[in-house]
Structures are given as structure tokens and as C-alpha cells.
Structure 1
Amino acid sequence: MTRKVRRFIFQLMPITLLCGFALGLLTMKAVQPGAAKTWANVVFDGQLMSGEPPLPVASLRDIVGAAATHDQATAAVADYYKAYADQLATAFNETNDARLRGLFGMYIVHQAQPYNVAPPDWEPYTLLDFLNAKAAHCGLYALAQSYIYTALGLRWQNIIVDGGWHGLLQADIDGQWETFDSTSNVWLSVGVPELINGDTRRYREFYTPVWDASADEVYRQHYTESDGYYSVPDVRAGLPVWGLRVFPGRWEISAES
């Protein structure tokens, strides 16, 4: 295991308790006339609305199949992408190959585990560990996503916001950092620093089983079991307006490829 991965896992410990805090609960700043970045544009690039059915993409568990090791599991993900890249481009309505890889990795990680409080003594050293868990928080989603991005040839950074309030990945897409949050299944066209700065951004929300009445109830248990501390809908609502109506105070890179 590389030093970067070990450092990433170490960084997950404080996130376990903090990252689920609903984004909508941040103190909202009053908008001051003439303030810099106050009127940055937000464009909803909504080819896929949250209420639509899931995309025709195999689950991470099905893609990994009978893989017995971490390396076999990540190789299976890369092989699946290569075999179905054209179909995935149609499903995601995306022509940029690097961004498509990012969306694919984000999407299959989001679907793989329900969002909830993870066992405090559990350390996800491999992608198989992640799949065998009962739930995941933002740091664990980001860790699994980083394994997949590495297998798909993407350069990534894990960003920790406000000391563990939220953790998510940004990926290098043709020289530009873009945000891929597998906790909420939301993509944004700029990186986390630009979001917090209030820069113009586009975003897309993808299917989440939390809002699917036909999905297993386990995807909504985080509402009651965390007493409202964890909320995927609040994360989805807050992330696109970071720096505009929700104001994280600081960010740091905890790991990178």
C-alpha cells in the first residue's frame, strides 16, 4: 500500500463524525451590495433530473464480480469501462472521455453503499472492503472513488472542507479541476477552491436511490439513525451553491494521485 493511500485512510478518522453534517445548516452570509463574486452564475446542466430512473450502468458489485483482490477489483472496473465506453457516453450524455470516466466512477460508487454512520473501528484498505461494508460516509465514498479513478487513469485530489465537515474528490479534466462528489452523486464544472470562491459553475445531479421510492429503505435510514445529522438531499442541495449561499471557510488536499 502506498504512503498516499495510508495517509488518506488516516485522514478519514475525523471525517467519520463530521462529514455528514447537512450543508444547509451552515451559517448563511448576508449578500452585500457590490461584493466580489456575489452574482456568479449558476447554470443547471440538467440532462438527468434527480427523479429519473437509474442509468443503464452495471453496479460496482456486479462489475467487480468474483474478484478476490483489490487489484483484480480495480482492473475489472477499468475493463468494464473500456468495453462499454460508447454505451456509457450515451447513458451519461457526455462526449469528453476524461469527464465520462469521472462521472462513471462517481456514479457507481454512489450506488454501491447507503450513506450512514460507518463503524468506528472499520478501515477500508481495499475496494473490496468498501463493497463489504454496511454503509459509508463521505470520506469512505471518496476513498473508493479514488481507487477507481486511479484504475481509470484519472489524476485526482481528495479535498477536506472545514476540517472534515465534508470530503470529496476533484479530478483533472483536460487541465481543469472539476468536482465529482460520490456522496451526493453531483458533478460540478469547477474545482472546490473555485466553488468556495463563488466562481461561475455548471452542475449535474444524477440518480440517487435516496429519492427512489422503489429502492430499499436502507438508503433512507440515515435520516432517522443519525437524528438528521446525515442527509444526502441536504448535501445535494448545498454543494452546487458553495460560495454563493453556503460558505465553507477553508479547504485542504488530504491525498492526491
Structure 2
Amino acid sequence: MTVNSIQGKNVLIGGGAKNLGGLVARDLAAQGARAVTVHYNSDATRADAEKTLADITGAGVEGYLVQADLTTADAVRTLFARAGEAMGSIDIAINTTGMVTKKPIPEITEADFDRIFAINAKAAFFFIQQAGESLTERGKLVTLVTSLLSAYTGLYSIYAGSKAPVEHFTRAAAKEFGSRGISVNAIAPGPMETPFFYGQETAESAEYNQHAADLSAFTRTGLTDPVDIVPLVRFLVGEGWWITGQTILANGGYTTR
């Protein structure tokens, strides 16, 4: 096992029950992780989390579940404590949690604002903070954001706005944690082919993203397949450790800077 290999490492995945988080959990287990702790938010995703756990343990890897609403610092601290206790240490931390709100600015309520910033910005910050305190030497930290950070569009003001601070958290953490060899990055997929996307879209806007080939450099679709993000996560938490402090747009050319 090399120092930057996934083999033998202990992994914590925030939002690891399903969609991209579930795919990453299964992939890192298949890559030889020693143990994977899957976080899920509530009873609504427990069945998905249990299925992901079964796949992890079926691959011969230790697996654990932790339920938590990560919108408080105490909950994030407890998540890392429980994961560390279960696995013995945490080498890799990946946060895929997030929430989308798509509304015109005049329709956004204070409750909308507070909820989405709690999930996308506050939870992300304290996840990064706890990773800095908990990760082993030369650990790896990845947060999922959105390619809308580089888009010029309406209706996603507080979604993209609540993800934007994570870029700054990532850069600062990369500097602060770098003396311990910890790499810190953010991955910004384009709109992904998951229920997470369709829950906010009308039939018309979903069809536009699905079929407007000019939105992407490729002709397959305007949407990102979560399967195409998994190898990037794998690389950043393995041999790609020299990349740090970056927000990587992974969207097939959907947007750029």
C-alpha cells in the first residue's frame, strides 16, 4: 500500500446513501478501502443507506451507518466522532450533501434562504472544519458543489449562492491543512441525471437540459451522468493528492471560466 493509495484507507461519506454519494461509497469499497462510513440524513433515505451498506459489506469491506441532520455544528462533530470511533481513524472525507432551490428572487422567503444556506454552506463549512481536526496525516477532503458557480443564469440565486462560499472554504482549508499533507478540493458537476435534479425542474426545463447538445462539448446530453464524476473523486482522494485548493468543473463543457 502506498501512502496515496485508497487501499486500506478509512472513508467517511456525507450524503452517501444514494445517487453520487452511494456510487462513490461503492466505488471506494471496490478500490480496496478498509472501511466506509455512510452518512444519511433521515428515515427517508435509510433504506437507500442500508442498501449501500449491504453492497459495501458484500465487497468484503467494513461498513457503518450514521444518521444525522448536518445543519448544526454539533451534529457534524458527532458524525466525525462516531465515524472515527467505528473505523479507528478517518483518512478520506467526502461531502456530497446538498439541496437545490429554484425560484425567482421575488419568491424566495427568509425560510428558503436560511434552510439552503444551512445545508449548502453551514454544513459544508463545519464538515471541512471537522475533517481538518480528524483526518490522518496526508488525508483527503472533497466537497461537491455545482457548475452553476460559473453560469450566467437566473432562478438558482440562493442555490449557487449558498455553494459559492465553499470555494473560499476550500482554498483556506487547503492552506491551513497543507502542513499535514491534507489535500482539499471541490468538485463542481453540471446538472446531474438524478432525482436531485428532476425535483426542481419543470418538464420543459428538464427536457431542455437533456436534449440541448450545444450546452455541452459532447453530443450525448446536456446532463452529467454521476458515473462520470466517480473516477474524478477516486483520483483526488488517491493518486491526485498534489491537486489541492481547487474547484474542478466536471460537466462535459457545460460551463467554463
TM-score by length of 2: 0.33
RCO higher in structure (CA 8 A, sep ≥6): 1
